[in-house]
């Protein structure tokens, strides 16, 4: 049996939740098909985990990823599966990818579409969550190549220097977090 660090947790045939532009469920489709061509709009989530020093846990996506391999991104991102509640999905995936269990707080949701070369696209209605944890990270090697913690200001500088190293959804989310939600996040982190 595979250890948590080696366990496969993502499958091309898992059924994702298709939604309309109001985030209403309109059907289900396998993950591979959802990401082909320009993509099919489906539910997704992004998680930002901060440690108790206020640094953000970043992950470098595994080279096995079909879309944006070896790009840096937020702590964890994935999709709820057919009939899976969002709260269940975010907790499941955070543990599967990073070995972390912590409470998560919903911040906002948005739609975006981004193409990766000629390989495929993300087309997602994405819910963004934050959490706090100083737990040891146990990266799943099938999902993550590397992790590091960054001060928000250091991350801002890195994004200004080289945006090409980061996933498109992360860049959109970080801009929204820093410009719209930062004071509420700081309050949350300080409680």
- Active-site residue list: 77, 124
Task: Tell whether 4 is covered by a domain.
Answer: no
List pLDDT tens digits, range 7-30: 766 656 799 999 999 999 999 999
- From residue 31, how far is each of 90, 105, 121, 131, 170 by CA, in Å? 17, 26, 11, 26, 20
The pTM of the full predicted model, rounded to 2 decimals, is 0.93
Q: What is the pLDDT of residue 5?
A: 58
CB 93 within 8 A of CB 54: no
Identify the CATH number of the domain in which residue 146 sits.
3.90.79.10
Tokens of residue 117, six digits: 């070369």
| pLDDT > 90 in the chain, percent | 91
Task: Tell whether 9 is covered by a domain.
Answer: no
**Distance (Å, rounded) from C-alpha 100 to C-alpha 63?**
22
> Higher pLDDT residue, 4 or 88?
88
Task: Tell whether 148 is covered by a domain.
Answer: yes
Could you tell me the residue range of the domain that residue 36 belongs to?
15-189
Residues 6+ apart with CB under 8 A from 155: 56, 58, 174
Q: What is the pLDDT of residue 10?
A: 65
List pLDDT tens digits, range 83-100: 999 999 999 999 999 999
Q: What is the pLDDT of residue 4?
A: 52
The band of 112, judged by pLDDT with boundaries at 50, 70 and 90, is very high
List pLDDT tens digits, range 129-138: 999 999 999 9
**Distance (Å, rounded) from C-alpha 38 to C-alpha 67?**
12
- In the predicted model, what is the mean pLDDT of the chain? 94
The band of 1, judged by pLDDT with boundaries at 50, 70 and 90, is very low
Read out DSSP for 127-161?
Answer: EEEEEE--SPP---TTTEEEEEEE-HHHHHHHHHH
Task: Tell whether 2 is covered by a domain.
Answer: no
**Distance (Å, rounded) from C-alpha 62 to C-alpha 27?**
29
Q: What is the pLDDT of residue 13?
A: 75
Specify the length of the chain in residues.
191
Domain count, the chain: 1
Task: Tell whether 150 is covered by a domain.
Answer: yes
Task: Tell whether 99 is covered by a domain.
Answer: yes
Task: Tell whether 5 is covered by a domain.
Answer: no
Task: Tell whether 27 is covered by a domain.
Answer: yes
């Amino acid at each position: 049996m595979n250890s948590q660090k080696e366990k496969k947790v993502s499958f091309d045939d898992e059924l994702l939740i298709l939604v309309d532009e109001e985030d209403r469920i309109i059907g289900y489709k396998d993950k591979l098909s959802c990401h082909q061509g320009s993509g099919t709009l489906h539910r997704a989530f992004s998680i930002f985990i901060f440690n108790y020093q206020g640094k953000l846990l970043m992950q470098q996506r595994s080279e096995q990823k079909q879309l944006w391999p070896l790009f840096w991104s937020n702590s964890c991102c994935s999709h709820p599966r057919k009939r899976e509640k969002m709260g269940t999905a975010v907790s499941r995936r955070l543990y599967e990818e990073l070995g972390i269990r912590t409470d998560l707080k919903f911040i906002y949701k948005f739609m975006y579409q981004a193409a990766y070369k000629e390989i495929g696209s993300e087309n997602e209605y994405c819910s963004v969550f934050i959490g706090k944890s100083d737990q040891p990270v146990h990266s799943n090697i099938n999902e993550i190549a590397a992790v590091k913690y960054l001060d928000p200001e250091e991350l801002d500088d890195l994004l200004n220097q080289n945006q090409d190293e980061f996933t498109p959804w992360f860049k959109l989310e970080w801009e929204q977090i820093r410009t719209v939600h930062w004071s509420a996040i700081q309050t949350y982190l300080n409680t």
